[in-house]
Amino acid sequence: MKHLAIAALMLLSAFSALAEEKPTPNLVRVTGTSEVKVVPDQAVISIGVEKENASAMAAKHVADSAARNLLSTLRANGLDAKDMATTFLSLQPRTTYVKHVRVSTFVAEQTLTVTVRDISKLDGLLEALVKAGGNRIDSIQYEVSEPRKYRDQAREMAVIAAKEKAQALANALGQQIGKAFSVDEAQDFSSLQSYNSASYGFDSNKVRSREPATAPGERSVTASVTIAFELI
């Protein structure tokens, strides 16, 4: 028992000596932020057809025919099958009153979601789809094709900003910064997508302007990191 007590005392002394040899370092903790502006380079459009007829079957057949025309137009404009999908299909009764007379019809609708990877072709594609029978454009969502590249860029800039801030604080104290002891990144709430409702009209009797009718705007990618540096 006596030998165990002596061993425990020696071990405790060793730990105490180790703690004295490695004191807690002096740290400076800073937060660096950055923002990267990005112009979207692709778009996702939602386009559809809506047909009305007294017969449910006739309404569906007409809508199906128009939807096939839209798909054919998309393929003719170079879009891949993976970039087009039917996302809504509906056949519903509709009741209206004309001069107090009840009129019952059926409305068939189909919606296609299309990814346009070359945004410069967006206006021309919309025009072609309207000509092909698309009579409802529900939305345009602008996106960036390589979001990770811009998030990585923003994160790297945030780290540089944090290091510069830490060095400035250390200089004011007459010291320098050493290695980083910890790094924490704030959750990224920025988005590289934007959703806009949209309407689009085309008049075949007018000469189409060379100016684009749509605008993707600009997106912001932000990053924030908190780093603790050693003061030396």
pLDDT tens-place string over residues 131-164: 999 999 999 999 999 999 999 999 999 999 999 9
Is 108 strand, coil or helix?
strand
Arithmetic mean of pLDDT, 10-32 = 69
What's the CA angle centered on 79, arms 76 and 81, to 5 degrees? 110
CATH architecture group of domain 23-40+145-191+218-232: 2-Layer Sandwich (3.30)
- Contacts of the segment 23-27: beta carbons below 8 A, 24+ positions apart: 25/178, 25/181, 25/230, 25/231, 26/230, 26/231, 27/181, 27/228, 27/229, 27/230, 27/231
| Alpha helix ranges (H) inside the chain | 2-21, 56-76, 122-131, 147-172
Arithmetic mean of pLDDT, 23-29 = 86
pTM: 0.71
Give start-end residues of each CATH 3.30.110.170 domain in the chain.
Answer: 23-40+145-191+218-232
Q: Percent of the chain at pLDDT above 70? A: 81
Q: What's the token pair of residue 9?
A: 């005392």
- The Cα–Cα gap between 86 and 83 comes to 11
Instruction: Give 108-127 pLDDT, tens digit per residue.
Output: 999 999 999 999 999 999 99
The third-level CATH classification (topology) of the domain covering 42-143 is Alpha-Beta Plaits (3.30.70)
Instruction: Give 53-90 pLDDT, tens digit per residue.
Output: 999 999 999 999 999 999 999 999 999 999 999 999 99
Residue 208, pLDDT above cutoff 60? no
46 closest CA partner among 85, 89, 18: 85
Give start-end residues of each CATH 3.30.70.2970 domain in the chain.
Answer: 42-143
AA identity, residue 226: T
Q: 110 near 86, Cβ under 8 Å?
A: yes
Please tell me the predicted confidence (pLDDT) of residue 10.
Answer: 52
